Chains A and B, each alone.
Chain A
Amino acid sequence: MLLKLDFDSEVPIYQQIRNQIVVGIASGQLSPGERLPATRALAEDLGVNTMTVSKAYQQLRQEGYVITDRRSGVMVRQREAGVPVVPEETVKGLRLRLCELRLAGLSREEILQLCDKLCDEEVG
């Protein structure tokens, strides 16, 4: 999976890393159990500070997308069977985005259509 950072963007670098990894996992480009680069290796690869990558990984770990193993490093977390647990932050974020879409003038049907389209694109 290719990770592209835009240094002109207002989104912080660590957030860009975190977001793209989440998209990568959701779209299947990063499969469960797949090893991610070590913090230092990814920082070296992107030319960013080690702390930036560390912060992105830490957030991904807290949100349950990745796990850290002492021997294997950072890995994409296996999805557990059963009722999916959506992080509280994600629900909050989604609620905010829905409000923004409503304020932009979209109806409920249009919002659902948009979500459907995005789901097809990102998740398959």
Chain B
Amino acid sequence: MIGTLILWGCIIWIVPLMYVLLRNEAKWKKNIVVGATLPYEARQDPEVEETLRRYQRQLGWMSVLLLLVTVPCMFVPQFSVQFILWSFWLLLAMVLLQIPFVRTNKALRRIKVERGWRRQPSAQAVSDLTAAAVPMKWLSPWWFLPPLVLSLIPMALDRELWVLWLMDAALVAFCYVGYRWLFRLRAEVVDANTDLTVALTHLRRYNWGKTWLWIAWATGCFNLGLCLTLEWFWAAMAVTFVYGAVVVVATIGIEFRVRRAQERLTADSGKDFYVDEDDQWIWGMFYYNPNDKRLVVNNRTGINTTFNLARRGAQIFMGLTVLMLLALPLVGVWLMHEETIPVELTVTETAVVARHSGTEYEVSLSDIESAELLTERPVSSRVAGTALESVSKGRYKNDEWGRFTCCIDPRTGPWLLLRTTDGEIWLFNATDSAATEAAYQAITAGK
């Protein structure tokens, strides 16, 4: 049940979050609403207003429907089946919630053509020379160094999990890379007002740095926090939850603050000349501009960036992302396979071998110091490895033994406890109880 709740908690918030973000698109920012650029007069147009109201209603119903679907998923007993169902639900949510956006975008573009609001040629790029001349003040890399150091400390404290700590540290380092190279230095031209362009540009640049710095510090602290609490399951869970919450709240908070500022600053824009790049945005969400040499471009509102799908690199990246998302249910299929395979335990002439799926643990008979057959499964928690209803394998720990290696079927006893001359502890068994007992007999007979 804990696994179900954790899985539920990790996924369920995506729909409300998408709802809030997409609903916010119905507010006018930089003369753009639901991905369509319209003049100031469109804001009072009854058809535009009705289209936007309909969009919000559709979005609301779609979100409620998606949340209701999750209720029966909670009661599916098998974890792997649950995972498959959640994967499909996630894919469905990502597609369904975009449908009202696309439909509204098309409707608004139709209104735009009907009213004669389309003003400039499609293949046009506009730059404000004064605003573009304002140099970007990059944050010093020194700001990113303390979180990197924090994230590297666990490497010294817990060498066994060095891969995990190194990956987290790499994430902190990536924050600086992302800050510097996933951003396009483009002035935010909305109309002919240079002061407005400078203000909007500064707003985006400042908050872009702030976002990455938040993520870097949160990740650095998380890495250290996780290392210090790893021995206590709930404390480690709490640290992970706080980290996730801080990152989501900080990034979404900054995004909304920027959107609100963009809304406020451009409240009077669009009366005379205004920049219209709608032709370069498919459905108002995918940027496709063969005239633009850049791979990464800034989203039109908020602070995020996106890819120029006219570039080969972006097409490959997007293709791989879509493939990975579509392959998500396959992870559930793999889990199902893991759940159904029995745990095996055999004793050869020289070693005890525990096997499950592709994993194999081998302990040399000559290294075994003592062997004990336990009738009660010791209470333990996972450090790194797999923890399914039918199999626990990898590194585990408990108060009595500390860390040990485990490959057991938790449902069926007995369990074989081995201690080796190097001080290592091993806990094995087989799904077939008789095999465990036979292995114990073979080991003790040899001693």
Contacts and interface: CB of A to CB of B under 8 A. Distances in A.
Whether chain B is bound by chain A comes out as yes
Contacts of B184: 44
Contacts of B358: none
Contacts of A47: 125, 186, 289, 291-294, 297
B326 to A, nearest CB: 31
Interface in A16-37: 21, 24, 30, 34-37
B185 A2 contact: no
B72 interface: no
A45 interface: yes
B185 A41 contact: yes
Contacts of A8: 121-123
A81 interface: no
B129 interface: yes
A73 B132 CA distance: 13
Interface string A46-81: 111100000000000000000000000100000000
A98 interface: no
B427 interface: no
A81 B289 CA distance: 46
Kindly name the residue among B129, B130, B186, B187 whose own CB sees the greatest number of chain A CB atoms within 10 A. B129
A1 B294 contact: no
A45 B186 contact: yes
Contact of B123 (A2, A7, A30): A7
Interface residues of A, number: 26
Contacts of B127: 2-3, 5, 37, 42, 45-46
Chain B contact residues: helix, strand, loop or mixed: loop
B437 interface: no
Contacts of A46: 125, 127
B135 interface: yes
Nearest to B292: A47
Given A4-B124, A6-B124, A7-B125, A45 B293 contact: no
B192 interface: yes
Contacts, number: 78
Interface residues of B, number: 28
Chain A contact residues: helix, strand, loop or mixed: mixed
Contacts of B293: 43, 47-49
Kindly name the residue among A2, A7, A30, A44 whose own CB sees the greatest number of chain B CB atoms within 10 A. A2
Contacts of B122: 8
Contacts of A2: 126-129, 189, 192, 273
B148 to A, nearest CB: 28
Kindly name the residue among B125, B128, B130, B184 whose own CB sees the greatest number of chain A CB atoms within 10 A. B125
Interface in B100-129: 120-129
B133 interface: yes
Contacts of B186: 44-45, 47
Contacts of A1: 128-130, 194
29 contacts: A1-B128, A2-B127, A2-B128, A2-B129, A2-B192, A3-B127, A4-B124, A4-B126, A5-B127, A7-B125, A8-B121, A8-B122, A8-B123, A24-B129, A30-B129, A37-B129, A38-B133, A42-B129, A43-B293, A44-B184, A45-B185, A45-B187, A46-B127, A47-B289, A47-B293, A47-B294, A47-B297, A48-B125, A48-B293
List 10 tightest A-B contacts by C-beta distance, closest first.
A47-B292, A7-B123, A37-B132, A7-B291, A37-B133, A45-B127, A45-B132, A5-B125, A8-B123, A44-B185
Given A7-B291, A38-B135, A44-B186, 11 more contacts: A2-B189, A3-B128, A4-B126, A6-B121, A35-B133, A36-B129, A37-B129, A43-B293, A44-B184, A45-B187, A47-B293
